Structure 1
Amino acid sequence: MDISVVVPLYDEVESLPELTSWISRVMADNNYTYEIVLVDDGSKDGSWDMIVKLKENNPFIKGFKFRRNYGKSAALNIGFEAAKGDVIITMDADLQDSPDEIPGLYRRITEDKYDLVSGWKAKRYDPLTKTIPTKFFNAATRKMSGINNLHDFNCGLKAYRKTVVKNIEVYGEMHRYIPVIAKWAGFTNIGEQVVEHRARKYGKTKFGWTRFINGFLDLLSIFFVGKFGKRPMHFFGAMGTLSFFAGIVIAIYLIAEKLYDLAHHVVPRQPTDNPLFYFALVAILLGSQLFLTGFVAELVSRNSHDRNNYQIEDTI
């Protein structure tokens, strides 16, 4: 199979008939073998009933329905697991992503040999309250990840080589940073393509201000997990060593100071009268705690098997 189109959706019943018809038309015009994987993230507006109806007339549609709303990352993860195509293309269900971009993205993977190609909506139809924070997060992500050739990490329109989606894990709200996850997994041939951004035709956006707070926290998480996810002791152990060592050095200094005073027949101060005593105590205790945290993190990282355990209510 040439292409799997993975579409996460939440309350997009109005756009689904037009979207699936448009995708099918593009595939037929280019003689691609394909499937459309629709993942309903707990919609309440009848989106699942529409998917079932569309499936009756389009055998290339696959559908998954979550029992409740888990988020876009969960929907993408399930879609990636189900995808059978050699190239996987993701797009949003709100018709702001154009299926006409599919052939170009497909060629970038198959002919230009990219592992991942991310869309860049150079001209956007979103309000400033959405575009300004997005620019900030994209700049911060480029700085922290070292992927300097991408302008828009969060663009829903992306193309992947099959081996990429089968070897990465998307959870929490990490869909914003899939290129970073792919890079940490060893897929470094990442490209970008300017794509059309269309004004929303039906409904309204499902994202509020909390997405920007979550996005910043996820950026910190993905940086830490990418660097130390498989070896947390390297992070906590290093911090613990520095803290513990600093505490010991201060303690030695305080002991040496007291011995010096005794040797010169000077009445020594009590250690507790010196503020450095408390710095040493805190540094030693903090270092010990960081060591213990590193050991616990190592155990957790080696025994976590249910991070992506989602309840699927129905499948077609």
Structure 2
Amino acid sequence: MTPETSAKLAETVDNCRRHAGDWELGITLMLRTHVTIDLTGGLPSVDADLAELHEIADRVGDRWTRAQVASAAGEVALSRGRYDWARAEYEECLRLAREVGAHTEVPFAIARIAESAFCSGDFDGAEQLLAEVAREVEPYGGVYDVRAYGGMLAALLALVRGDLERARAECELARAASEMIAAPPQLTAGLDNIDAVLTARAHGPEVGLAKLGPTLAAAVAAHCAERVLASLCDTAAVLLAAAGRSAEAVRVLAAATAWRAGHPRSVPEQAAVGGLPDGTRAVLGPDRYEQEAAAGAELSPAEVVTLLTGS
């Protein structure tokens, strides 16, 4: 978000406080929350708006507002690795969306519940929920945002299960759906991340890294949230280690961990990088490992882009 956009949102919130009611203020705060949480440095700043949104939802009382607030709270919980909390919020959003007949919001809420299940390691539950998403979107023809998002989750699920053919097919379907909308940069980054992993499996880690560097550069330029940047760097660290570039792998993994600011990796993310510390420590030795990790923890996203791309 540019400083100009941030200032405009703040001005709009102030105008709503002076001249509008709770409903209008709530809509504006929800917009600011959803925009801010997707941006670098945004997560710590959403708590005050989210607390006020809960108060407004209680005062206004309408179910659509309460559904939107639950969705915003679920997104915050996902970003902080609080998957049980996220699931509870999205289940409340789903319940309310069904009650008010917000039919195109129902599959999105189910997809976010599926993401909560996937991140917590409940892969069978995530698969069942994604099948439900597919059934829910079928009558509406469009809803390309849900199709793209659900397809990305399906590709991730296939990837962790080792079904590379299905992962590629789901990724391509998701990308086709994303091309029908103004795809947010975090969705594009997620699909490109999967593509880099699949490319590395087929053609070797250096080829995957050649795709991943520009992907990270684009995500940094779009000011994507740290959760997105860290996920890309986790993949980069795995590929660097596989390419025999152990010192760089340690630095990039340490950078990703630092950007998470104490928020845990998901179960599949932790599984992907779980062997890296021991493996790279064995190659580098404990002293060199600690030096590289300390250096990596100080790296900015732009500096990791330079490390990966050489420019």
Q: TM-score, normalised on structure 1?
A: 0.29
Bigger Rg over Cα: 1
**Larger RCO: 1 or 2 (CA < 8 Å, sep 6+):** 1
| Higher strand fraction (1 or 2) | 1
Q: TM-score, normalised on structure 2?
A: 0.29
| Higher helix fraction (1 or 2) | 2
